[in-house]
Amino acid sequence: MKLLFHLLTISLFFISFKVWSVYTATSIAIATVLIQVMWSVFRYRHVNMMLWVSLVLIIVFGGATLVLHDDRFIKWKTTLLYWVFSLAILFSQFILRKNLIQKALNAHIQLPPLIWVKLNVIWGLFFAALGIANLWVAYRFSNNTWVDFKLFGTTGATLMFIVIQSLWLARYKKEG
């Protein structure tokens, strides 16, 4: 359901940007994330920490985009969200000695401890790289290209990353 909401938010942003403007798209993104939070409260009586982070970032940076009529803020929101994910994963691994990826996936796959650490670190680095790539595209290309990258580039990169990671992890799958 989280993935569906994420794809809905980014798809609505993409469509409204193409039809109207970055400002309409930003307004719709804010509304969509607010609805996602309300749905989570209503349906699950709980809101995931990353959804709270996303809500705060979209309200602050989306709001700044709308109030100041400056699209640089919404572009930074995406990068900051990726960097928050990266820092959370890497901080939890190296400072707290907790593995967030293992916590999320342990029920689905059993891996040796060192592989969990590697997996956690590569996800942290992947999110850091996505944040850098977002800024590079945002500042080197048109808004139109940035929005295309936001939907197709980051989604495609994430899917490709998951496929490559799955092939790598298949070596460690226990038969049974």
Give the global pTM. Answer: 0.87
Summarised one tens digit per residue, pLDDT across range 153-166 is: 999 999 999 999 99
pLDDT in tens, 40-64: 999 999 998 888 999 999 999 999 9
Per-chain mean pLDDT for the chain: 92
Could you read off the pLDDT of 75-124 as tens digits, one per residue? 999 999 999 999 999 999 999 999 999 998 888 888 899 999 999 999 99
SS (H, E, C) the chain: CHHHHHHHHHHHHHHHHHHCCHHHHHHHHHHHHHHHHHHHHHHHCCCCHHHHHHHHHHHHHHHHHHHHCCCHHHHHHHHHHHHHHHHHHHHHHHCCCCCHHHHHHCCCCCCCHHHHHHHHHHHHHHHHHHHHHHHHHHHHCCHHHHHHHHHHHHHHHHHHHHHHHHHHHHCCCCCC
pLDDT attached to residue 115 = 93
Q: What is the pLDDT of residue 174?
A: 62
Would you kindly state where each structural domain of the chain is located, as residue ranges? 2-170
Per the model's pLDDT, the better-predicted residue between 175 and 2 turns out to be: 2
The answer to whether 12 and 28 have CB atoms below 8 angstroms apart is yes
